[in-house]
Amino acid sequence: PYPAYEQLRSRSPVLHEPHSDLWMVFDYESVKRALQDHEAFSSIVAPPSAMTSQWLVFADPPRHSKLRALLLRAFTPRAVASLEPRILALSHELLDRTMARGEMDLAEDFSVPLPLRVIAEMLGVPTTDLPHFKRWSDVMMALGYAVAGSEEAARVQREFSEVTEEMRVYVRDLAGQRRETPREDLLTRLVEAEVEGERLTEDELLGFVQLLLSAGHETTTNLLNNALLCFLEHPEQLARLRAEPALLPSAIEEVLRYRSPVQAMFRVTRSEVSLHGQVIPPGKMVLAMIGSANRDPRKFQDPDRFDISREPNPHIAFGHGIHFCIGAPLSRLEARVGLSVLLERMRDVALASDAPWEPRRAIHVHGPTRLPIRFTPGT
């Protein structure tokens, strides 16, 4: 999408698409403003009847502030940091299964299961229930793929309603167990968290589990896949990274900028908003193009160059302002641990197929559906 962004950004950074009456914003300053200025740009994009209207990410203050405070009580830096040994063990375990073959589909064999298992274990879901979790997550991801108004969208909505009811029963049951017998897990912390004497309602708790499952999974999957793609496309940068592994955290930031896993977020204008001389009326859907903002030459020098030591790198891949991604420390940790294990155990990594990789069919997440690779096994 990047050459298209470039053209649009330089010609019309604010674009009105008349067919769907959608406003798209492409330049860094305006995207940042749309993400952060919640007085003018509301996050309430889901209809009140939909389960997604319970999700923190689709709420405005004051409700947003209460929900976010509750989640932050549970999602502590300590809880995240304590996961490092487990992420390391899981990364090795996943690679042990494929190492000897000398080839794998990085998506299916590594980038999908790693974050899914981490978030499931963090919540405290028994491993035996992982197949349910995977299905629920797939249905929720399909929500964002289907084009609004299409037959497929209607089908996906029906599936999402079914899944929501299954999840409701499941979460109610598991939450009941945790109330009786608390454990050291995120679910217990969510059940017990209080803000101003208030606890989460059943719908709010279910909303959190759904949001964490979808936000905590596919995004990090794409970060892992996109990182490997970037390294393979820029072998000289990979060689630098191998020579100087301490560059990994900054390389991950550059992947987040260069191939942002979340390409765009929706907002709805609350009042009339003027951007670059264009007037967006109230009540209009706006798509803030994060992927384009992160390549804006007015903010980033030589933006189409992938440079693992870029400094400064003020990308907005995790959003900006009151909705800034709560999972950022977790996904940075998963990427750092997962990628260092990959690079350590694999030599001469190359794409296993000449066919161009197939992108995920979605406007909001960006990355390959499959990523077949070949390599020389290390240890």
Residues that bind ligand HEM (CB under 6 A): 35, 43, 56-57, 68, 119, 211-212, 215-216, 219-220, 223, 261-262, 265, 317-319, 323, 325-327, 330-331
Task: Pick the closest to residue 328 from 215, 160, 163 (CA basis).
Answer: 215
Torsion sign (Cα): 287, 291, 297, 298: positive
Q: How far is the CB of 186 from ligand HEM (least distance, A)?
A: 9
Q: How far is the CB of 347 from ligand HEM (least distance, A)?
A: 26
Look at the block and give the residue holding tokens 């959608």.
22
Phi and psi torsions of 264, nearest 5°? -160, 155
Look at the block and give the residue holding tokens 């709010």.
204
| Nearer to ligand HEM among residue 207 and residue 375 (C-beta) | 207
Q: How far is the CB of 223 from ligand HEM (least distance, A)?
A: 4
Torsion sign (Cα): 338, 368, 236, 1: negative
| Nearer to ligand HEM among residue 57 and residue 94 (C-beta) | 57
Residue 312: is the preceding peptide bond cis (ω within 30°)?
yes
| Nearer to ligand HEM among residue 317 and residue 342 (C-beta) | 317
Q: How far is the CB of 343 from ligand HEM (least distance, A)?
A: 18
CA distance 376 to 177: 47
Q: How far is the CB of 243 from ligand HEM (least distance, A)?
A: 26
DSSP helix/strand/coil, 23: strand
Q: How far is the CB of 276 from ligand HEM (least distance, A)?
A: 21
| Nearer to ligand HEM among residue 141 and residue 375 (C-beta) | 141
Q: Which amino acid is at 347?
A: R
List, in order, residues 6 or more apart from 319 with CB less than 8 Å away. 35, 262, 265, 290, 325
CA distance 41 to 296: 21
CA distance 150 to 263: 22
Q: Residue with the closest Cβ to ligand HEM? A: 327
Beta-bridged to residue 372, according to DSSP, are: 105
Q: DSSP alpha helices (H): ranges in 181-234?
A: 186-192, 202-215, 218-233
| Nearer to ligand HEM among residue 32 and residue 234 (C-beta) | 32
Q: How far is the CB of 87 from ligand HEM (least distance, A)?
A: 12
| Nearer to ligand HEM among residue 261 and residue 368 (C-beta) | 261
Q: How far is the CB of 143 from ligand HEM (least distance, A)?
A: 15
| Nearer to ligand HEM among residue 325 and residue 351 (C-beta) | 325
Q: Which amino acid is at 245?
A: P
| Nearer to ligand HEM among residue 59 and residue 341 (C-beta) | 59
